[in-house]
Amino acid sequence: MTDNNYILKVENLTKIFTLGNIFSRIKIVAVNNVSFEIREGEVFTLAGESGSGKTTVARIILGFHEPTSGKIIYKGKDLTNLNKEDRNFFRREVQAIFQNPFESFNPLRKVSSYLYETLENFNIARDNKDEVVEKALRSVGLSREEVIDKYPTEFSGGQLQRISIARALITKPSLLIADEPVSMIDASLRMSIVNLFKELKEKSNVSVIYITHDLATAYYISDKIAIMFRGEIVESGEVEKVLMEPKHPYTMVLSESIPEPDPKRRWKKQISLSAFEEEEFLLKGCKFAKRCSFVMEECKKQEIPYFEINGRKVKCLLYK
């Protein structure tokens, strides 16, 4: 185990994408020097609008993208330099739940086949496969009888997402990476999925990276949170402090969209921020400078450092 019970440490993670063609190319720093740590049995949220870089961070951790620079340490092992044995260990220990459950399953294939395939791939339970599948499904509020021999179209989005989580739990993971796991699910069913992650943390000591733009569910489920904007973490710390007493101007804007810390309430208004803006990624100084009501001239000219404010990190010159 890593020092101080950290199960995962991300250090100065950077990812640069090159966009355009042979005649015109630009480099976009999609993730810029991102660092954070996750303890055993902790829910850590990466939150921000579309284009903030939070999903890119998750895909790098999962090995879908190669980082341009930086380190990812899982249980003391550098993920950028794993041998085959360690890579198989990581794939068993770290499981992903994706945004759209309907895209996770082939409509022409029975959903139960995914559960049994996971057993085969990781050489789990050769003699009692049905029992292991039943246990995994029971843990998400389903049974083998409800699932066996049925196709994806016979389930709701919430049921399919529960089956996705059951498949992930078959390997007995230590870390789940859940990328917008409730955004494609009917609002009336979202809290059942969110509560499921909370139960896994409390009962099984599973750590969770919860990726979302929904600060209400983030407040409800998280221990710590990092707010991302244009590839950078602008504020991070305990979720209560960050969301109830925001320091960064961007976090202030996001927090204003939550009427009260009640996950069953919808936002009263939409976040008044645009989606992907290439220009903001290219800014030399603070990426939020063009929208910030507190902007100073020096905000536009230099890389902004982090400042420690009451147990959290804030990337803002207001606290210089």
* Beta-bridge partner residues of 37: 9
User: For residue 276, what are the CA distances in angstroms to 122, 184, 230?
Assistant: 39, 20, 8
CB atoms within 10 A of CB 24: 7
CA distance 225 to 234: 11
Residue 278 confidence (pLDDT): 63
Residue 315 confidence (pLDDT): 96
Residue 219 confidence (pLDDT): 93
Residue with tokens 């009263």, as numbered in its chain: 268
CB atoms within 10 A of CB 144: 16
Residue 298 confidence (pLDDT): 93
Superfamily the domain 6-319 falls into: P-loop containing nucleotide triphosphate hydrolases (3.40.50.300)
**pLDDT < 70 positions in the chain:** 1-4, 257-278
CA distance 102 to 185: 10
User: Domain segments of the chain: what residues?
Assistant: 6-319
CA distance 7 to 223: 15
* Beta-bridge partner residues of 158: none
pTM value is 0.89
Helix, strand, or coil (residue 47): strand
CA distance 38 to 264: 27
pLDDT in tens, 82-128: 888 888 899 999 999 998 888 889 999 999 999 999 999 998 877 88
Residue 16 confidence (pLDDT): 93
